[in-house]
């Protein structure tokens, strides 16, 4: 089983990352909508939607939303919020889903770069391009890998819900690897996260190959310009040719 299929479907993944800030997510979406002014009832896709926190808010803003994620548990949770204009499906982002259908596809919170084979990253971008209408937008919220690697915290521990998570990080051949160890209910658990630290020029080249033309690059959720040395995020906005 690929690491993300096991880890993202684990209850412990959601325990470790329960601190994620809904206000920050809404702030980001508000800024994107103000900047790009999608029409009411625009059809959008939240790719790798997790438990659906972004999808729900996008829907509240008047958009027709589909959320896709590989985790059955996450989709089961998200589906509780379904309505006539909000739907969720278990789906692998490497596979195509509805052709020439979406006005905007969002990929939030570094939900890319997980694969050991570069072909799988290309399959993902091919599926994105296939799913967009002509002139549709793809918004990818990725980490600024250069800053992340420079400021890597090699070891830390966190206690959450009476569970001590021991975390170590390293960079290996351009991939940031996080190892997560903890004990719970008398058992030892070991999980791993692996994210390719794609640079801007690598992203731009992959996007072009799949007919996605970069229009804007932001460095933070307030949509300030990207700075390779100081920005926490690398937010890419591309248009389907």
- Are 107 and 58 within one domain? yes
- Are 129 and 10 within one domain? yes
What is the CATH number for 81?
3.40.50.150
**What is the domain count for the chain?**
2
Residue 7 φ then ψ, to 5°: -70, -45
Average pLDDT over residues 25-53: 95
- Are 12 and 74 within one domain? yes
- Per residue in 84-141, pLDDT (tens digit) is 999 999 999 999 999 999 999 999 999 999 999 999 999 999 999 999 999 999 999 9
Sheet hosting strand 187-196, strand order edge to edge = 155-160, 163-172, 175-184, 187-196
Closest CA to 105 of 62, 51, 66, 74: 66
- Are 16 and 119 within one domain? yes
At 18 the pLDDT is 86
At 40 the pLDDT is 85
- Are 224 and 140 within one domain? yes
- Are 140 and 176 within one domain? no
- Are 38 and 101 within one domain? yes
- Per residue in 138-181, pLDDT (tens digit) is 999 999 999 999 999 999 999 999 999 999 999 999 999 999 99
Report whether pLDDT(15) > 80.
yes
CA distance 194 to 98: 28
Last residue of a domain, one of 160, 175, 193: 193
Average pLDDT, the chain: 96
- Per residue in 225-236, pLDDT (tens digit) is 999 999 999 999
For a pLDDT cut of 90, what percent of the chain falls above it?
Answer: 96
- Are 23 and 56 within one domain? yes
- Are 128 and 212 within one domain? yes
Q: Parallel, antiparallel, or unpaired: how do β-strands 102-107 and 163-172 relate?
A: unpaired
Last residue of a domain, one of 175, 193, 211: 193
- Are 132 and 157 within one domain? no
- Are 139 and 152 within one domain? no
Report whether pLDDT(193) > 80.
yes
Q: Which residues contact 23 (CB under 8 A, 6 or more apart)?
A: none
Average pLDDT over residues 194-220: 97
Count CB atoms within 10 A of the CB of residue 199.
Answer: 15
- Are 92 and 134 within one domain? yes
| 174: containing domain | 148-193
At 22 the pLDDT is 85
User: pLDDT-based confidence at 64, cuts 50/70/90?
Assistant: very high
């Amino acid at each position: 089983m690929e690491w993300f299929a096991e880890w993202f479907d684990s209850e412990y993944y959601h325990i470790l990352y329960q601190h994620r800030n809904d206000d920050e997510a809404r702030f980001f979406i508000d800024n994107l909508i103000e900047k790009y002014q999608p029409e009411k009832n625009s059809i959008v896709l939240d790719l790798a939607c997790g438990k659906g926190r972004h999808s729900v808010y996008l829907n509240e803003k008047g958009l027709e939303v589909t959320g896709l994620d590989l985790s059955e548990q996450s989709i089961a949770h998200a589906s509780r919020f379904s309505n006539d204009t909000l739907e969720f499906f278990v789906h692998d982002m490497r596979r195509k889903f509805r052709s020439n259908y979406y006005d905007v596809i969002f990929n939030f919170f570094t939900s890319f770069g997980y694969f050991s084979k570069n072909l799988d990253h290309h399959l993902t971008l091919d599926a994105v391009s296939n799913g967009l209408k002509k002139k549709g937008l793809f918004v990818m919220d990725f980490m600024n890998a250069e800053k992340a690697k420079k400021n890597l915290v090699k070891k830390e521990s966190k206690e959450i819900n009476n569970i001590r998570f021991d975390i170590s990080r390293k960079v290996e051949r351009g991939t940031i690897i996080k190892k997560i160890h903890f004990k719970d209910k008398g058992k030892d658990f070991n999980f791993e996260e692996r994210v390719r630290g794609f640079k801007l020029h690598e992203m731009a080249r992959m996007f072009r190959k799949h007919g996605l033309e970069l229009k804007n690059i932001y460095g933070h959720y307030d949509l300030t310009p990207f700075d390779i040395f100081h920005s926490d995020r690398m937010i890419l906005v591309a248009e389907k040719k």
